Structure 1
Amino acid sequence: MPDSRFALGLVAGAAVVLLTGVLGTQALSTTESTTRLDEYDTVMVDGRKALAANIVAGRTQSRYHPLPWVGIRVHDVTCPGPLLAVAGTRMTCTGRRGDGTAVRIPVTVVNTAPAHITWKFDR
């Protein structure tokens, strides 16, 4: 009987560690971001708010390869312009792999509100 309790505890402990790893990976590998539209991050395009290109590029670069087993490492991410705060707006940013080859990174606005924009990129 004591051996079966030990085995059960060992299996339960392993399951908890595995679940924690899966949930941690999921949380860290998200590609969706909500950003405040404030005086530091916002530019105006044709009278509409837009998220500055350097903010989109920086956030995308930092989240593109959050863990060694998620995504590929990219650097020098640039975006062609500000991301208009209108749901459905799309643009493609570009980054570089370690070997210098280009990586195209599609970016899409998911939702907007007067004070924030929710957007995502595809890995």
Structure 2
Amino acid sequence: MAKTAVHKRQVLDLITATGNTIKLHSADPGTTGASAIATTPASGNTTWAAAVDGSGGDAGKASATGSKVTLQVPASTTVTHYGIYNGATFLRGEALDASITVNATGPVSVDVTPRSTYE
């Protein structure tokens, strides 16, 4: 069923308003928040911008970008996903654009800018 761009943006604004806590994961967190990484700090908070009409690969979707979250990843760890939480409650996971591998001499600070889309 077709949705207007206005509706898509409004729904995405509601979705992003439900969670602003970001945690890193070493694999797809599924529906439970599995594979969370013990970062320092344990999580960070993002501030979501209002949803806009997507462009490029997100054309036809609403898109929202959160503010950057910086977390320190321990040595010998690969980060593939981030999770979006409401406090301690896992809501959903997203894949990073590219995996981040921290070598044995870590820890390393990693910046993640979360994104969410709705179509």
The structure with the greater share of residues assigned to helix is: 1
Q: Which protein shows a greater Rg?
A: 1
Question: Do they fold alike, i.e. is TM over 0.5?
Answer: no
Using the size of structure 2 for normalisation, the TM-score is 0.28
Greater RCO structure (CA 8 Å; 6+ sep): 2
The structure with the greater share of residues assigned to strand is: 2
